[in-house]
Amino acid sequence: MPLYRNANMRWLDMSGNGMIGTIPDDLPKFFPNIKYLNLSMNSLSGVIPSSVGELSELWILGLSDNELSGEVPKGLFTNISGLFFLKLSKNKLHGQVLSGNLTWGSLYLVYLDSNHFTGEIGIKSSKEKHNSLITLDISNNLFTGIIPDWIGNMSSLSEFVVRNNSFEGRFPCGASPFSFLDISQNSFSGPIPSCLNLQNMKHLLLGSNKFIGSIPKSFRNLTQVLTLDIGNNYLSGRIPEFLGELSNLRILLLRKNNLSGSIPMQLCQLSNVSLIDLSGNSLSGSVPSCLQNITGPTHLAFLKGILMTYLLGSSYSYGGNC
């Protein structure tokens, strides 16, 4: 990756160019005043040099979709006071990047997903004077342990994505104003927390965990929700009638639980829904005819005990209950 010194360079976007080789160790020498550096979607290999932490004027750093390996330099989190966007997704990075005392500095958006990171999420540094973090995506890694309480109490945190890791225990309550919460494909257990701040929630993905108990009454507050996935858990009880009041709902996934009773007629009120999956439960009774009349012509088919209702623009699944 050949470079030439340019002290006036502020913006450098070399993404998607098929570049190979390593990231030069002397980037601060070439671009001492750079603010935007995007090397994503190439074939860069090797480590992220520690000197990247010396790019003191940097605001935005994108290194995703490469073949980078090794550990993330600590200086990325501690030395660059103005860095607010960091994307390292889809590499081969490893190490315990979130362990110890965490200092986010001025970071707003952090994407560490699809790497080989391990360890637990550490404690928030006592030196942290403000909560600036809006998005934290650490999905598709090898993280373990529990989610610390401070995650649930960050007043700025809107998107928290930890899908496909090995987290366990109970998810913490708190006032974080999540709009996108994806903790699916982990080993969270216990009842679904009834004390989450749900007022701004657009996408709530809790599937493929070990949650037990009934669907919490607090879900009535999901007035903005578009996607609700609580499938592949150990939930029991009846499907609440109030789910039919979630007028913005597009996708409802309750599959593979221990839910019983009949399908509430109130689900017919979900006029914007595009997918309902109730398969793999212990439901009884028949599919309400109103679900077949929400939109378009309907085709019903019995396949291995699964009754599927397909509609143009919508699909409903009710199966494994016979």
Q: Look at residue 246 and tell me whether its pLDDT is greater than 70.
A: yes
Give the Cβ contact number of residue 149 at 10 Å: 12
43 contacts 18 by C-beta, under 8 angstroms: yes
Nearest-angstrom CA–CA distance, 139 and 164: 6
For 269, the 3-state DSSP assignment is helix
- Name the residue type at position 167: F
**Phi, psi (degrees; rounded to nearest 5) at 251:** -130, 125
**Residue scoring higher pLDDT (78 or 2):** 78
What pLDDT sits at residue 297?
31
Q: Across residues 216-235, what is the average pLDDT?
A: 97
Nearest-angstrom CA–CA distance, 310 and 164: 30
Q: Comparing C-alpha atoms, which of 209, 196, 203, 254 is closest to residue 224?
A: 203
Q: Please provide the average confidence, as pLDDT, over all residues in the chain.
A: 87
pTM of the model: 0.90
Condensed to tens digits (0 to 9), the pLDDT of residues 134-158 reads: 999 999 999 999 999 989 888 889 9
Q: Which of 43-52, 171-180, 234-243, 306-315 has the lowest mean pLDDT?
A: 306-315
Nearest-angstrom CA–CA distance, 31 and 24: 11
- At CA 46, angle to CA 28 and CA 124, rounded to 5? 70
SS3 content of the chain, % helix, strand, coil (to 5): 10, 35, 55
Q: Look at residue 128 and tell me whether its pLDDT is greater than 70.
A: no
316 contacts 294 by C-beta, under 8 angstroms: no
**Residue scoring higher pLDDT (246 or 305):** 246
Residue 71: pLDDT band (50, 70, 90) is very high
